[in-house]
């Protein structure tokens, strides 16, 4: 079935074939409420009401509800990513939620220290070494209500960048845990393992600080994730793959080209590829948190960064909020103490550095 057009609340794309539409449905890019137009029928219908696609939506409805998996990433180290991951997990635990924090910084794991576990009895070393080991065997208890830990292995250089099949094994396990949320603390910077895990999670949060190098590193990380995602979709179009790789090699210091230039060229050469490309871009919505913010001017810098992502990459990133600079945070970091624990138990929640994050499992 060729000649399909799909209309979403944001845009309309096509022509694509049935296989393209099925993949968009499986990956959650198209929903049952989106409209599809078929040249054969010459009419618009909801995707969910079409006999050809209904089985995919029925399969999604019948799936067992799983934990919401959230990745925490950063373009560089030292921005407070692990401290923020630990603090959010502890706060959700205090609210009665069940949280598992996973240390996916394979090269230098230290999340266990932030979570009050000095020597984990079992780590990811067991998972990567032996067959038939699932994540439920790796859970360590923490001192914090509702929060459990899957720790990385310290000092194992062979696990710093796991091979492809081990990464896939890791990714399959993230949604298998019987919990409400899984927080994945990724290694800073860009590596295949980091990018693949970020893209496999339900939501991805990028932590940055209001410094030019931090914004640049965060931009490079987000760009690498988007290009990786597009390349996985575009393997059927040699021309599109070539243009995306050219885009990846551009000099980003000059900011003289954007993904729109590539999209327009692909639209002229391969409209089917261009339609799928824009659908993938619209679905990719990384979340951003600005940490260690001194003043309103630095809040505006984060907003400008979000705008630059739209201009150059065409993506609608979501700015979740900011955390004010606190001179005591350096001491908390030395003590490996999440900032949420620096507040008295009876303190009002408004006194804790606030960010708005939607952790609803229904979305």
pLDDT of amino acid 252: 62
- Other C-beta atoms closer than 10 Å to the C-beta of 290 total 28
Handedness of CA 233, 239, 240, 241 (dihedral sign): positive
63 neighbors 316 (Cβ within 8 angstroms)? no
Q: What is the pLDDT of residue 264?
A: 93
CB neighbour list of residue 18: distance below 8 Å, 6 or more residues apart = 1, 2, 4, 52
Closest CA to 118 of 145, 88, 154: 154
Report the distance separating Cα 265 and Cα 240, nearest Å.
9
CATH architecture of the domain with residue range 1-63? 2-Layer Sandwich (3.30)
Note whether 328 and 342 are within 8 A (CB): yes
**Could you state, in order of their start, the residue ranges of all structural domains in the chain?**
1-63, 68-221+282-351
What percentage of the chain's residues is helix, strand, coil (to nearest 5)?
Answer: 45, 15, 40
Residue 264: alpha-carbon gap to chain centroid? 27
Quote the pLDDT of residue 116.
84
pTM listed for this prediction: 0.82
**What are the mean pLDDT values of the chain's consecutive 10-residue runs (363 residues total)?**
75 78 80 78 80 76 75 92 91 93 86 84 84 87 93 70 79 88 93 91 94 93 95 90 88 72 93 90 93 89 91 93 77 60 38 40 40
Burial of 346 (0-12, 13-18, 19+ CB in 10 A): exposed
Non-local (6+) Cβ contacts of 334 within 8 A are none
Residue 43 confidence (pLDDT):
80
Which pLDDT belongs to residue 267? 93
CATH number for the domain formed by residue range(s) 68-221+282-351: 3.40.50.300
Judged by DSSP in three states, 188 sits in coil
C-alpha 299/C-alpha 293 separation (Å) is 7
Q: What is the pLDDT of residue 66?
A: 77
Contact 204, 286 (CB under 8 A): yes
């Amino acid at each position: 079935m060729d000649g399909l057009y799909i209309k979403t609340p944001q845009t309309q794309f096509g022509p694509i074939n049935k296989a393209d539409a099925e993949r968009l449905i499986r990956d959650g890019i198209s929903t049952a409420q989106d409209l599809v137009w078929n040249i054969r029928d010459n009419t618009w219908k909801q995707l969910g009401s079409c006999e050809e696609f209904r089985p995919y939506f029925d399969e999604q409805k019948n799936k067992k509800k799983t934990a919401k998996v959230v990745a925490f990433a950063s373009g560089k180290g030292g921005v407070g990513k692990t401290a923020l991951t630990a603090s959010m997990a502890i706060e959700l635990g205090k609210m009665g939620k069940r949280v598992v924090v996973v240390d996916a910084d394979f090269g230098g794991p230290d999340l266990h220290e932030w979570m009050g576990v000095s020597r984990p009895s079992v780590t990811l070393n067991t998972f990567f070494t032996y067959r038939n080991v699932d994540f439920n065997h790796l859970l360590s208890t923490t001192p914090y209500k509702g929060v459990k830990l899957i720790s990385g292995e310290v000092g194992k250089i062979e696990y710093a960048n796991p091979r492809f099949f081990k990464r896939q094994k890791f990714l399959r396990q993230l949604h298998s845990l019987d919990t409400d949320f899984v927080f994945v603390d990724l290694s800073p910077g860009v590596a295949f393992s980091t990018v693949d895990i970020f893209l496999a999670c339900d939501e991805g949060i990028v932590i940055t600080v209001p410094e030019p190098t931090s914004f640049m590193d965060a931009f490079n990380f987000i760009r690498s994730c988007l290009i990786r995602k597009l390349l996985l979709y575009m393997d059927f179009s040699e021309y599109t793959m070539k243009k995306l790789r050219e885009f990846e090699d551009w000099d980003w210091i000059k900011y003289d080209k954007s993904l729109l230039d590539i999209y327009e060229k692909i639209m002229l050469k391969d409209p089917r590829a261009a339609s799928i490309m824009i659908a993938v871009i619209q679905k990719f919505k990384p979340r951003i948190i600005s940490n260690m913010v001194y003043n309103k001017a630095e809040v505006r810098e984060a907003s400008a960064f979000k705008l630059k992502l739209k201009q150059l990459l065409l993506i609608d990133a979501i700015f979740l909020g900011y955390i004010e600079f606190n001179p005591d945070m350096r001491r908390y970091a030395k003590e490996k103490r999440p900032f949420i624990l620096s507040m008295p138990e009876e303190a009002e929640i408004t006194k804790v550095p606030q960010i708005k994050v939607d952790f609803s499992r229904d979305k």
